Amino acid sequence: MQWKHLLWRYSRWILILTLLTDCVTLGRAMSHQILLLLAVLTLGLATSQLRDKVPCEMVNKQALCQGLGLLQVPSMLPRDIEALDLSGNQLRSILALPLGIYTVLRHLNLSSNEISFLQPGVFQALSHLEHLNLAHNHLALSTGGLGPLLHVKSLDLSGNSLYSGLVEQLLGEAPALRTLSLGENSLTRLARQTFWGTPALERLDLHSNVLMDIEDGAFEAMPHLTHLNLSRNSLTCISDFSLQQLRVLDLSCNSIEAFQMAPEPQAGYQLTWLDLRENKLLHFPDLAALPRLIYLNMSNNLIRLPAGTPQGDKAIQAPSKGLSALPLSNPSRNASTHPLSQLLNLDLSYNEIELVPEGFLEHLTSLRFLNLSRNCLRAFVAQRLGSLPCLMLLDISHNALETLELGTRALGSLRTLLLQDNALRYLPPHTFAGLASLQRLNLQGNRVSPCGGSVGPGPSGCVDFSGISSLRILNLVDNEMETLWAGAFLHTPLTELDLSYNPGLDVAMGALAGLEASLEVLALQGNGLEVLQIDLPCFSCLKLLNLAENRLSRLPAWTQTVSLEVLDLRNNSFSLLPSSAMGGLETSLRRLYLQGNPLSCCGNGWLAAQLHQGRVDVDATQDLICRFGSQEEVSLSHVRPEDCGKGGLKNVNLIIILTFALVSAVVLTMLATCCCIRQQKFNQQYKA
């Protein structure tokens, strides 16, 4: 049937051309006009042929025509397609024909074109259309609307430079619309009538506009709205918030200074997700009316929690202004009815919090993740029995902490504690012993010193890291540690231990005793070590060893019982890596770092074998430099065994020559001495 259709079309064009030729012979007065018409029709024939050969990809009932440089909607696609993707072309106008011939379309993607004109009622014939994407076009130049969209469920109008007032004109009637995206436009205001035509809307995206004002009642026409994105706008205040049906609200990246709930709501709020990060909030908002809230992000604001009673004080003062917003203790309430009692994630990082008031954390009984990093905290106290019983991650890093008090039966579920970059120095010895579930502890950038074993020595103010049976990962980088005492980690089955950048660290014999069967990662980088007093071959589970930036020149002899995969020896004093020491690693070692060592070209047979055979990945092999004695540096990968043989022969010859010269000098000296003595005797006899 396709070839018959094409034959009919070509015969029609031939007939028209024949008639036009006859007309030319009949009248010279109209010759110019006829020739012009002939040229236009010929161009139309060529365009029609090009259009009919559009190289769209057909997948089931989907026509994929994206990025083909099309100027109009193709007309020769199968009539029964259900999805048509025309994104990334050069369409400027959408007409009812030929689009209307695809009557069973459900998905239509017209995004990333140059559309500025929509024929009135262009989508009316598409009675099955459910998803329409017009994002990133020029609809702000359009004078018409979309017309009735009776069955469309999702509509994307983002990135069209739409301004306030034009949205109402475009939207029209869309009674079935569930999802609407108006992000990345130029809206400055939402009026009451903006969304009157979308009563079933559930998700509304208005991010990256210039919204400064939302008229009262602007969202009342959408009783089913559950997700609202107002991020990256210019809102300064949210007052009388009353969208009880809303579940997700994103207000991030605005200039909001206050968030206030409507007084005495008639129904319970359903909000579970609230994002207020990167605003200008000065106080923790009153969220007592949001009992279902599980995610709250207020990072990057200017929040200072009200003074109330500092942590650690026994007396409870009257709450100051704004403190009622916090989840403080109230004996008359059941724990499950307290504000934020269902909260799982609370992010208060990058604020100006100097202290956490008494009772602020007490009733966050469901909290799993708490982020207080990058504030101005000097103390953190959690000593009450059952405090934060479900907390799994606590981040107090990048503060000015000097005091840390953790109760023996508090934070019972805590697995990760991040304390890096604070000012912790003198802590109670058993600060972390009571954290029964602690698995990861980061103390980088403090001044913490581990004690010795149960009977070992330790400096005053040291912290005991032995006997913490749950701890697996410990970071003590840059703590100005001087000595790591014997038995420092007894009965603590660490898998990862980082002791890097403690210059001058003295690792005592037996300092890592008890870790032989568990340790997988050990880092001692940048400590200036000259000798290792650690029996590394005994650590059978060790997979990664970082000894970079020390002064080491030799390693212990590894055995084949070890499982070391990565060894970092950069910037040390190694000249030789003999097979007697390294041979035991051949079956397990996968990567070796050696840059910055004074390697010898000869005597490194084991290393040369790894380079040539590729069994071990040696970093930057082309730049790995070695020396022939005091001669020039060469690339180790270019050294051949015979080069070392020649060098050895030359050395032997040199030794023979030097020896001969030395013996000759001694003989000549002795002969000269004998001659002098005989001359003296002769002179004495002559005088006599």
pLDDT in tens, 282-313: 999 999 999 999 999 999 999 998 865 444 44
Side by side, the strands of the sheet bearing 625-627 are 599-600, 625-627, 633-635
SS3 139: helix
- By DSSP bridging, strand 62-64 and strand 57-59 are antiparallel
Q: What is the tens place of the pLDDT at every residue in 102-124?
A: 999 999 999 999 999 999 999 99
- Stretch 416-445: mean pLDDT: 95
Most confident of 1-5, 144-148, 563-567: 563-567
Which residues have CB under 8 Å from 209's CB, separation 6+? Answer: 182, 183, 184, 185, 186, 187, 188, 232, 233
The tens digit of pLDDT for each residue in 548-600 reads 999 999 998 888 888 999 999 999 999 999 888 888 898 899 999 999 999 98
**pLDDT at position 393:** 98
Q: What is the mean pLDDT of residues 88-97?
A: 95
| Pair type for strands 83-85 and 496-498 | unpaired
User: Which of the residue ranges 74-78, 232-236, 456-460 would you say has the lowest mean pLDDT?
Assistant: 456-460
The average pLDDT across 423-447 equals: 95
Residue 45 has pLDDT above 70, yes or no: no
Residues in the chain: 688
> 385 falls in which pLDDT band (50, 70, 90)?
confident
Give the pLDDT mean for 223-229. Answer: 97
**Phi and psi torsions of 669, nearest 5°:** -65, -45
Query: What is the distance between the alpha carbons of residues 57 and 64, in angstroms, rounded to a whole number?
Result: 5
pLDDT (tens digit per residue) in 638-662:
777 666 765 544 554 555 667 777 8
Predicted pLDDT at 309: 45
Q: Is 637 left (phi over 0), alpha (psi -120 to 50) or beta?
A: alpha
pTM, 2 dp? 0.81
Q: Are 526 and 596 in contact (CB under 8 A)?
A: no
Average pLDDT score, the chain: 84
Does residue 334 or residue 193 have the better pLDDT?
A: 193
pLDDT at 223 over 60: yes
For the cut 50, the answer to whether the pLDDT of residue 176 exceeds it is: yes
The pLDDT value given to residue 310: 44
State residue 613's pLDDT score: 78
Among positive and negative, which fits the CA dihedral 310, 315, 321, 324? positive
Give 474's strand partners.
Answer: 441, 497
* pLDDT surpasses 60 at 13: no
Q: The tokens 């390693």 sit on which residue? A: 555
Burial label for 268, CB within 10 Å (0-12, 13-18, 19+), is exposed
Decide the pairing of beta strands 625-627 and 633-635: antiparallel
Q: Is the pLDDT of residue 15 over 90?
A: no
Give me the pLDDT at residue 38, please. Answer: 44
